[in-house]
């Protein structure tokens, strides 16, 4: 084969390559991509995408990734202009993208839909510099799960209403073996597992004591808030439940898995365990309740949301907003709630039939007066603060010397607060 033929073959191949790519790009102009970080939501999104195609004639490609991978993908794709047309993320992830100017404001009609459809708490935590950028999809308050049969067995008929009852009930519900080791915990607290989850669970009980992880000191400045009286009381509660009363253990099954297996009588979580229990432990008799307050009549929990956003780089923004509104139809909202355990904080929809079918969902949209909804602050370093505080809490939870040692507890929280404030300071937020 001579040189000329080789060049002709090479040029022909290059031409085919270019044509294929151009045709792919052209074909994609009427197709939008949606990225989500929760694979359990995928079936509902896919169903909505299929219905959207049938009804509107426009293609939607939905991709789900593991949460951390999803966050990394966003971090790489949004600044480089390769983001999907729609992405669903939480109020503590989005501020950095809004601040950098990557996120589009919704059109007027979408803005009106948001304002008329969601509860004020959800709207409040999704407002950045006076504007709402995304359409909330999910709003989740953390609740206390209690095993009705184990409660009955221990002579208890109702879930605890305050910390005193929480400790007393946990003591009654704990089962030990002949060596005094816990084989069934009265309450399973989140004690370890790398990541911000440890702090989030601490934050729940902290909110029920009237405290918070951070507080604003001015419009743009924050500082650690958990090293106060409420924070010390919360850490003391953990230490007492683990070491003083031995109602929990590091050496048995933890979290929802433990609850499904009957290895714990109480634990705190979102609503996704409800369908999980139905599938894995259909005979489990359980209930959910608001987080017991430190004192009667005053309590709180952690509340977080996931909203759908459109990046400024989207070439199909109109279709993207159209799909977001389409996905907010009652059919999909109900599926997300009942089938997956992800409630939408909608004030324009009636979910009473769902509550009658599954009583445990009834507290999902309860908003008692005076109840504190502790949220993630809209700052980019929230995850780092939560993760690093979590690691310090993990170590503290294992430290039996903190029993009845208020000075020790104070030292743990004060040292952690210095680290938190340093992280804030690095981003000029302190």
Footprint on this chain of other proteins (rule: CB under 8 A): 68, 71-72, 75-76, 78-79, 96-97, 99-100, 179, 190, 192-195, 197, 250-257, 263, 380-381, 383-384, 387-388, 390-391, 394-395, 398
Shortest gap between Cβ of 71 and other proteins (angstroms)? 7
Report the candidate in 133, 139, 140, 55 with the shortest Cα–Cα distance to residue 321.
133
Q: Which helix (H) or strand (E) holds 132?
A: strand 131-132
Shortest gap between Cβ of 255 and other proteins (angstroms)? 4
- For other proteins, the closer CB: 272 or 373: 272
Shortest gap between Cβ of 81 and other proteins (angstroms)? 13
Shortest gap between Cβ of 267 and other proteins (angstroms)? 10
Q: In sequence order, what are the beta bridge partners of 87? A: 35, 309
Cβ contact 71:37 at 8 Å: yes
- For other proteins, the closer CB: 232 or 388: 388
Number of Cβ within 10 Å of residue 368's Cβ equals 10
- For other proteins, the closer CB: 130 or 180: 180
* HSE-up (13 A, CA, CB side) for residue 180: 3
- For other proteins, the closer CB: 68 or 131: 68
- For other proteins, the closer CB: 263 or 346: 263
Shortest gap between Cβ of 276 and other proteins (angstroms)? 13
Opening angle at CA 313, ends 308 and 317, nearest 5: 55
The rounded distance, in Å, linking the Cα atoms of 152 and 161 is 17
- For other proteins, the closer CB: 11 or 22: 11
- For other proteins, the closer CB: 55 or 179: 179
Shortest gap between Cβ of 428 and other proteins (angstroms)? 11
* HSE-up (13 A, CA, CB side) for residue 226: 33
Shortest gap between Cβ of 248 and other proteins (angstroms)? 13
Number of Cβ within 10 Å of residue 353's Cβ equals 9
Shortest gap between Cβ of 162 and other proteins (angstroms)? 26
The rounded distance, in Å, linking the Cα atoms of 154 and 213 is 35
The rounded distance, in Å, linking the Cα atoms of 234 and 214 is 15
Helix (H, G, I), strand (E, B) or coil at 79: coil
Enumerate residues 6+ apart whose C-beta is below 8 A from 197: 190, 390
Assigned token pair, 327: 């996905």
The rounded distance, in Å, linking the Cα atoms of 264 and 256 is 9
- For other proteins, the closer CB: 107 or 197: 197
């Amino acid at each position: 084969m001579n040189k000329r033929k080789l060049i002709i073959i090479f040029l022909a191949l290059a031409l085919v390559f270019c044509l294929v790519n151009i045709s792919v790009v052209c074909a994609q102009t009427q197709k939008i991509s949606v990225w989500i970080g929760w694979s359990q939501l995928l079936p509902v999104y896919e169903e909505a995408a299929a219905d959207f195609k049938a009804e509107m004639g426009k293609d939607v490609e939905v991709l789900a990734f593991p949460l951390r991978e999803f966050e990394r993908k966003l971090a790489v794709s949004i600044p480089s202009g390769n983001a999907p047309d729609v992405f669903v993320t939480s109020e503590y992830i989005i501020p950095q993208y809004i601040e950098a100017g990557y996120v589009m404001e919704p059109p007027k009609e979408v803005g009106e839909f948001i304002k008329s459809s969601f509860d004020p708490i959800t709207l409040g935590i999704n407002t950045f510099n006076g504007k709402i950028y995304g359409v909330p999809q999910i709003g989740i308050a953390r609740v206390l799960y209690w095993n009705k049969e184990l409660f009955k067995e221990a002579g208890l008929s109702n879930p605890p209403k305050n910390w005193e009852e929480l400790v007393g009930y946990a003591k009654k519900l704990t089962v030990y073996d002949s060596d005094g080791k816990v084989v069934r915990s009265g309450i399973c607290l989140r004690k370890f597992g790398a990541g911000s989850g440890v702090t989030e669970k601490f934050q729940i009980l902290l909110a029920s004591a009237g405290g918070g992880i951070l507080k604003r000191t001015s419009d743009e400045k924050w500082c650690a808030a958990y090293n106060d009286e409420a924070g010390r009381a919360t850490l003391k509660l953990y230490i007492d439940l683990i070491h003083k009363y031995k109602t929990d253990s590091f050496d048995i099954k933890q979290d929802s898995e433990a609850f499904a297996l009957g290895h714990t009588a109480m634990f705190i979580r979102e609503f996704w365990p409800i369908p999980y229990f139905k599938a894995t432990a259909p005979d489990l008799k359980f209930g959910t309740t608001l987080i017991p307050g430190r004192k009667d009549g005053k309590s709180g929990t952690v509340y977080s949301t996931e909203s759908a956003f459109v990046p400024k780089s989207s070439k199909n923004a109109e279709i993207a907003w159209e799909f977001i509104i389409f996905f907010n139809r009652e059919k999909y909202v109900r599926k997300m709630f009942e089938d997956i355990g992800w409630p939408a904080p909608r004030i324009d929809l009636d979910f009473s039939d769902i509550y009658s079918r599954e009583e445990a969902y009834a507290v999902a949209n309860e908003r008692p007066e005076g109840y504190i909804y502790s949220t993630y602050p809209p700052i980019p370093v929230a995850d780092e603060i939560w993760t690093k505080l979590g690691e310090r809490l993990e170590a503290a939870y294992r430290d039996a010397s903190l029993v009845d040692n208020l000075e020790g507890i104070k030292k743990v929280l004060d040292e952690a607060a210095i680290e938190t404030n340093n992280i804030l300071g690095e981003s000029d937020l302190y």
